[in-house]
Each structure stands twice: as structure tokens, then as C-alpha cells.
Amino acid sequence: MKKIDDITLSAMIEAAAGARANSYSPYSGFAVGAALLADDGMIYAGCNVENAAYPLGFCAEANAIGTMVMAGGHQIKAVVVAGPNADICTPCGGCRQQLREFVGPEDMPVIICDVDGNLLLETSLSEMLPNSFGPDTVNAVKDAGESL
């Protein structure tokens, strides 16, 4: 797993905090921001967006992924999640799976910071989602079927 340089990490933390500031979280009051470093070298950010019909909301990570894909990014090299307080706020299970969809052959750093931008946790997606199911799993079965 490749380490993120300090300048890029600072920019990602700033982007995640900026996205969190735009969170639409009137029901929970739990504002979250996320920033992705993509294969094109750009940083894409997203915030959580709640809905009165709870299942229809979007997590910050999912919105950041949508922004990246819309701009033409293909792979995520790292993610920073900025929570609303001093507690560790990791991606939910669904977001871990969505992040997995866009990770290349290298593992991906996952950095969690608090409301003040302090680093709380530095881990990896493979540690957060061990034995994951991803595009390589589907393609292996597809490729085996084509060779029969």
C-alpha cells in the first residue's frame, strides 16, 4: 500500500472538511465529509445528504465516488473521512463495498480524522473489508466461463 505524501493528505483533509461543512443532515445532525484521491491525481469530495425517507439518503463516500466517476476518474488511491466530532467515523459497510469497486490491484489507505482535522485512524480498505467481493471476483468467474 502506497503512503500518501503530507501535502496531498493535507489537501484531502481540507477537502473532506469543506465537504462536511456542506452536509445536508437536518435529521441526525451527523455531518460527514469524504475526499478521494483518484488515479487522475485529482481529489474528489462529497458530503452526506439525508432525506426524510431515511433509506433514500446518501453517504459522503458515495457522493464523492459519484463526483469522481462523473469527472472521468476510474480508481481510488486513498480516502479521507471527516466526522462531525472527536470520535472515529469510519465508512459504513455499504460504503466500504462501494469503495472496493474502485480500488485497483494495490490496497487503499483509509484515513479518518476528527472535526478539527486531527488524524484518528490510519488503516486500509483490506483491513476494513477483509476477503472482499469485488470486480476481480466477478471477472474470474466470467473469464472461466468464456474459456469453457
Distance CA 101, CA 134 (A): 6
Tell me the chain's radius of gyration from C-alpha atoms: 16
50 is catalytic: no
Distance CA 36, CA 16 (A): 9
C-alpha to C-alpha distances, 126 to 40, 100, 140, 142, nearest whole angstrom: 22, 9, 19, 23
φ, ψ of residue 78 to 5 degrees: the values are -165, 160
Single out the catalytic residue among 14, 61, 127, 146.
61
- Kindly list the catalytic residues: 61
